């Protein structure tokens, strides 16, 4: 099974911030990412694009 990676767009381009993403959920104005093993990361961002073919989720910093 191929789990998506999460990338964030910043001034210098794109940077991978999370791998093997099992779930993505919203908590107020934050996005919570988690793996099947329960590892989590919370980030204040918005979804920019989801690339299903390459299993990538692109975020951009929230204002």
**Chain segment 17-38, per-residue pLDDT in tens:** 999 999 999 999 899 999 999 9
Structure confidence at residue 1 as a pLDDT band (50, 70, 90): low
From CA 54, how far away is CA 62, in angstroms rounded? 24
If one counts every other C-beta atom within 10 angstroms of the C-beta of residue 8, the result is 18
C-alpha angle with apex 33: 28 to 35, nearest 5 degrees? Answer: 150
Average pLDDT over residues 30-54: 97
């Amino acid at each position: 099974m191929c789990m998506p990676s999460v990338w964030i767009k910043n001034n210098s381009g794109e940077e991978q911030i999370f791998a093997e993403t099992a779930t993505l959920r919203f908590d107020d104005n934050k996005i919570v990412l988690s793996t099947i093993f329960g590892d989590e990361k919370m980030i204040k961002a918005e979804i920019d694009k989801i690339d299903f073919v390459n299993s990538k989720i692109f975020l951009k910093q929230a204002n």
